[in-house]
Structure 1
Amino acid sequence: MRMPRRGLVIQARTRWLLVGIAFLFSLVLLMYLLECAPQTDSNGSLPGVMGENMGKEYYQALLQEQEEHYQNRATSLKRQIAQLKQELQEMSDKLKTLQDKKSPKVNGVNYQGTKEQASNDLLEFLHSQIDKAEVSVGAKLPSEYGVVPFESFTSMKVFQLEMGLTRHPEEKPVRKDKRDELVEVIEAGLEVINNPDEEDDDDGVGERQLYSENDFVEGYYRTERDKGTQYELFYKKMDGMEYRHVTLFRPFGPLMKVKSETVDISRSVINIIVPLAGRTEAFAQFMQNFRDVCIHQDKRIHLTVVYFGQDGLSEVKTILDSVSRETNFHNYTLVSLNEEFNRGRGLDMGARAWEKGEVLMFFCDVDVYFTAEFLNSCRLNAEPGKKVFYPVVFSLYNPAIVYANQDIPPPVEQQLVHKKDSGFWRDFGFGMTCQYRTDFLTVGGFDLEVKGWGGEDVHLYRKYLHGDLIVIRTPVPGLFHLWHEKHCADELTPEQYRMCIQSKAMNEASHSHLGMLVFREEIETHLRKQAYRTNSEAVG
């Protein structure tokens, strides 16, 4: 496809600007004539006729009213004329700019000067980022939590503070962008040392050492989100007693607009697909949330339940029929499979059961609680042929442990809080996802060979990572995984069993609460001693 020539585009813009200027001139002239033209009142009577019945006061009031009317009218017209003049001036400036761009050779000096000025302005901005960052001078911070900590690295490993649940305190950089960044930084430091400026040349010419990657000892980096990333690099000299220290800074540039668009989600229907086997009490709780959020609030939802086996199927049908009668909701499908539970197969069958063309799907579990705001996030972050949405779920701990100091745990709605002791971001889970049906079918869906617990969602996630679609991965505030007891079956493979036990341990309680359970006997012994000592002092 040939691109339109730049000259034709500029000529077209110039032509439209000239038409706009002519139109504004016409408006100015018309308003001027309206301001100067005398106005008549077709309903007014002749003064001679009125004078026989009206006194002098009537004429004075009439004249004053007419004068106020003309003054208000004149003020309004002057204000509009001033606005039109301002718009006319702005359009004239735009026309001049387009004309300058159209003929850069004629005005080459100014055009070149503009480019140089823009380059100088950008360079000045980037240097100002270094000055504002905490590179050469320390910043006054309000508390110990205000400091931006460094993370350290060698040529092989990174030592990090922020680990989540999937990363390790010490690991090789897994992400390609992080590996490329650190390699680039080490090489840039070598370039600075081996080709120094005059003011940086600490070694004489005759005794200068040529440094290599093997001489790199360690580095530190930290990022100030509004300024840039600082790197502190250390290279050892041959004698091992002296080091070369290089400080680099990657400044962040000014914000740049990539696009601005309107996203209409008013007609976007979500097909929520839930695979299920047994768990009828959990399904009843799920349908209560579904009724409140999807039926009463969102109203653009279709529910597909894929049920495995016969045990509990009649109860599920009863729950669906009851909700349908009470709310007049009929946008649901129940798919019955008389076979062993397989989450991947259930979601795959639910996706293929839809026969109305393209649709946005939300793969959900019966233990998941979501809000109306999350459903809109689902619509905004998935786009057919472009984006799939993989939100990070906030997983709640065992309420019997979290609320052990209360007689009974509070209602579920009151447990939905993002606190360290109430739950964690499930950043190792990829089961909850929003994606369009065509994208799901294009990548081949789930690996149906995976049996039992876990694994099928990771396989699908990796398919998208290896493809061309953008994967949106982020924690969202409106998506919760409710605690339920896990059973790790003996039939699982060793890898699946390990994953199941790991998930079970993480789901139970926070580090501090688990510690309290481990040291329960020690704590109770201490409390008994304290009580005995208090009673002894009271008796004495």
Structure 2
Amino acid sequence: MRMPRRGLVIQARTRWLLVGLALLFSLVLLMYLLECAPQTDGNGSLPGVVGESMGKEYYQALLQEQEEHYQNRATSLKRQIAQLKQELQEMSDKLKSLQEKKTPKVNGMNYQGTKEQTSNDLLEFLHSQIDKAEVSVGAKLPSEYGVIPFESFTSMKVFQLEMGLTRHPEEKPVRKDKRDELVEVIEAGLEVINNPDEEDGQDEDDGVGDRQLYSENDFIEGYYRTERDKGTQYELFYKKMDGMEYRHVTLFRPFGPLMKVKSETVDISRSIINVIVPLAGRTEAFAQFIQNFRDVCIHQDKRVHLTVVYFGQDGLSEVKSILESVARETDFHNYTLVSLNEEFNRGRGLDMGARAWEKGEVLMFFCDVDVYFTAEFLNSCRLNAEPGKKVFYPVVFSLYNPAIVYANQDIPPPVEQQLVHKKDSGFWRDFGFGMTCQYRTDFLTVGGFDLEVKGWGGEDVHLYRKYLHGDLMVIRTPVPGLFHLWHEKHCADELTPEQYRMCIQSKAMNEASHSHLGMLVFRDEIEAHLRKQAYRTNSEAVG
């Protein structure tokens, strides 16, 4: 794990301090040994004819001179030693002070020291990193590939996009440093919520006696991403089990101590989501979608409006019948059916669905009929989209062909049992931008979809790029409660070369995992091996 910049500076200063002290003591010792060495200058120090002729007085005078010299030298050395001890004490005090400042208390974080102890250069560096990072405002990017996606996590699991061939789409943090990091961040968020700063306008009016204390069990979900030249951003959400009010904390680690960016209360109890579904035919898939919608939106969430934009006449009466049946059985009437007698165009359908809403501002979820979502996802949709500030582009977990995944079973299990995050069951669809949560005013302000795009694909990427070129922050992260169910794809000849390539790519990646596709490719070789094995077994039995 990379050490913070402040820690590196302290280590370097400590190392040079110790080296300097060692050299200084070596120099003093060398001077002392040189002074103690026998003197060789002058004939008086040598026995012989001259010494004998000088007599006893000469030697006495020489000894006295040497004694005075050594006394003066000893006094000088004692003075230097006392001075060195004083300097050593001063340097030790400075070193202790530096170590105490190594993890300063910044904006309410639980670290030793105070803001006054933090040096001005450190604070300037930390705040400059936050100013440069994409923490509270969006960054204008040239393409969809410039976005740094978030990793999402709970108290037990991490949902990650970058898997390679060894990591998994959902797994527990295996490395100790990663576990410690996430635990530290969750605890830091609790510190911010439970001990609000006086300058936080959100918390000023709350009486201490009325304030609810949050614990680790109240942590719902979090997101983090690292900008390699700035630091790591954390978005944390906490909620009491018996309430609808969330606490949202943003933290930033600018390659140094954690710093609080903001703390706010988010009330989503009155936030309505308009789920917009474009459709043409595929009534069986729509019936399955309505079953999921009934369980999640009508029975659990109860704050959702459904808008279905249907293209053509074939199947329209069946769709009407399904909606009317749900309305009778559940007393749900918050739906709108828009009928367009024209060729299917997903962008046009979503655009018509957005404009059909006549009740002012609303949060929209652009959805497909093959998508399965949970009540937890709806709350994530509300928490990560904010009018004029943020749009939410969750990464869907796309399920593989169940006929291949569950080939060893007579029939695939029910859909609800297929919703697992495993390498052989599906993948994070990080090249898809069709499912998104955004507010109606933001959608209209940015210009909506490019209605010139015909047929399959492309319209969602164009809209995504518009937001990247604007001032809104784009939240891009894998979401565990959002699944794309497998269905057979047909790539029409009428598609443009770019659309056809995208369609084939999606079709290939949607079919099966790397290992399962490999087993299909080498199926003939595997069957030949099994036949040889059976032949050998029979031969040995006969022999």
Q: Deviations over 1:389-428 (max 9, x none)?
A: 0000000000000000000000000000000011000001
Give the superposition deviation at 1:461. Answer: 0.4
**Paired residues of 1:283 and 1:366 also in contact (CA < 8 A):** yes
Q: Deviations over 1:250-308 (max 9, x none)?
A: 98211111111110000000000000000000000000000000000000000000000
Rounded to whole Å, the distance in 2 between the matches of 1:22 and 1:398 is 70
Q: Deviations over 1:38-60 (max 9, x none)?
A: 99999999999999999999999
**Paired residues of 1:382 and 1:389 also in contact (CA < 8 A):** yes
Structure 2 segments unaligned to the other structure (5+ residues): none
Give the superposition deviation at 1:353. Answer: 0.3
**Paired residues of 1:396 and 1:422 also in contact (CA < 8 A):** yes
**Paired residues of 1:166 and 1:427 also in contact (CA < 8 A):** no
- Provide runs of 4+ in structure 1 moved above 3 Å: 1-117, 120-251
Q: Deviations over 1:304-362 (max 9, x none)?
A: 00000000001101111111111111000000000000000000000000000000000
Rounded to whole Å, the distance in 1 between the matches of 2:486 and 2:77 is 69
Change (3 A) 1:438 1:399: same
Rounded to whole Å, the distance in 2 between the matches of 1:64 and 1:315 is 123
Larger mean CA deviation between 256-265 and 267-276 belongs to 256-265
**Paired residues of 2:251 and 2:260 also in contact (CA < 8 A):** no
Count of matched residue pairs: 540
**Paired residues of 2:138 and 2:471 also in contact (CA < 8 A):** no
**Paired residues of 2:153 and 2:222 also in contact (CA < 8 A):** yes
SS of 2:318's equivalent?
helix
Give the superposition deviation at 1:539. Answer: 2.3
Q: Deviations over 1:120-150 (max 9, x none)?
A: 9969999999999999999999999999999
**Paired residues of 1:402 and 1:422 also in contact (CA < 8 A):** yes
**Paired residues of 1:164 and 1:427 also in contact (CA < 8 A):** no
Larger mean CA deviation between 33-42 and 301-310 belongs to 33-42
Correspondence for 2:429 among 423, 426, 447: 426
Change (3 A) 1:188 1:497: same
1:383 correspondence with 2:362: no
Give the superposition deviation at 1:525. Answer: 0.6
Rounded to whole Å, the distance in 1 between the matches of 2:230 and 2:245 is 31
Change (3 A) 1:66 1:460: farther
**Paired residues of 1:31 and 1:77 also in contact (CA < 8 A):** no
1:73 correspondence with 2:76: no
Change (3 A) 1:350 1:530: same
Give the superposition deviation at 1:535. Answer: 1.8
Give the superposition deviation at 1:538. Answer: 2.0
Give the superposition deviation at 1:117. Answer: 3.5
**Paired residues of 2:276 and 2:367 also in contact (CA < 8 A):** yes
**Paired residues of 2:107 and 2:259 also in contact (CA < 8 A):** no
Change (3 A) 1:18 1:450: same
Change (3 A) 1:52 1:129: same
**Paired residues of 1:10 and 1:102 also in contact (CA < 8 A):** yes
Give the superposition deviation at 1:236. Answer: 56
**Paired residues of 1:31 and 1:81 also in contact (CA < 8 A):** no
Rounded to whole Å, the distance in 1 between the matches of 2:288 and 2:512 is 22
Change (3 A) 1:89 1:275: farther
SS of 1:509's equivalent?
coil
Larger mean CA deviation between 322-331 and 86-95 belongs to 86-95
**Paired residues of 2:161 and 2:430 also in contact (CA < 8 A):** no
Give the superposition deviation at 1:92. Answer: 33
Change (3 A) 1:425 1:9: closer
**Paired residues of 1:233 and 1:245 also in contact (CA < 8 A):** yes
Rounded to whole Å, the distance in 1 between the matches of 2:330 and 2:64 is 66
**Paired residues of 2:235 and 2:248 also in contact (CA < 8 A):** yes
SS of 2:144's equivalent?
coil
CA RMSD of aligned residues (A): 29.2
**Paired residues of 2:192 and 2:263 also in contact (CA < 8 A):** no
SS of 2:266's equivalent?
coil
Give the superposition deviation at 1:533. Answer: 1.1
1:441 correspondence with 2:477: no
**Paired residues of 1:28 and 1:84 also in contact (CA < 8 A):** no
**Paired residues of 2:276 and 2:309 also in contact (CA < 8 A):** yes
Q: Deviations over 1:493-522 (max 9, x none)?
A: 111111100110000001110000000010
SS of 1:174's equivalent?
coil
**Paired residues of 1:165 and 1:427 also in contact (CA < 8 A):** no
Q: Deviations over 1:160-192 (max 9, x none)?
A: 995879999999999999999999999999999
Change (3 A) 1:221 1:463: closer
**Paired residues of 2:138 and 2:470 also in contact (CA < 8 A):** no
1:475 correspondence with 2:503: no
Rounded to whole Å, the distance in 2 between the matches of 1:383 and 1:499 is 31
**Paired residues of 2:140 and 2:469 also in contact (CA < 8 A):** no
**Paired residues of 1:14 and 1:98 also in contact (CA < 8 A):** no
Rounded to whole Å, the distance in 1 between the matches of 2:445 and 2:136 is 53
Change (3 A) 1:154 1:445: closer
Rounded to whole Å, the distance in 1 between the matches of 2:69 and 2:410 is 76
Change (3 A) 1:268 1:77: farther
Change (3 A) 1:288 1:396: same
> What's 1:513 paired with?
516
Larger mean CA deviation between 113-122 and 351-360 belongs to 113-122
**Paired residues of 2:400 and 2:426 also in contact (CA < 8 A):** yes
**Paired residues of 1:488 and 1:500 also in contact (CA < 8 A):** yes
> What's 1:246 paired with?
249
Rounded to whole Å, the distance in 1 between the matches of 2:80 and 2:384 is 44
TM-score (norm 2): 0.58
Q: Deviations over 1:51-96 (max 9, x none)?
A: 9999999999999999999999999999999999999999999999
Larger mean CA deviation between 316-325 and 242-251 belongs to 242-251
**Paired residues of 1:347 and 1:363 also in contact (CA < 8 A):** yes
Higher relative contact order (CA 8 A, sep 6+): 2
Give the superposition deviation at 1:467. Answer: 0.5
SS of 2:528's equivalent?
helix
Give the superposition deviation at 1:119. Answer: 1.8
Change (3 A) 1:164 1:439: farther
**Paired residues of 1:270 and 1:302 also in contact (CA < 8 A):** yes
SS of 2:447's equivalent?
coil
Rounded to whole Å, the distance in 2 between the matches of 1:314 and 1:65 is 124
Change (3 A) 1:533 1:434: same
Rounded to whole Å, the distance in 2 between the matches of 1:219 and 1:333 is 34
Change (3 A) 1:521 1:321: same
Larger mean CA deviation between 243-252 and 303-312 belongs to 243-252
Give the superposition deviation at 1:375. Answer: 0.2
Give the superposition deviation at 1:370. Answer: 0.1
Larger mean CA deviation between 165-174 and 27-36 belongs to 27-36
Change (3 A) 1:146 1:476: closer
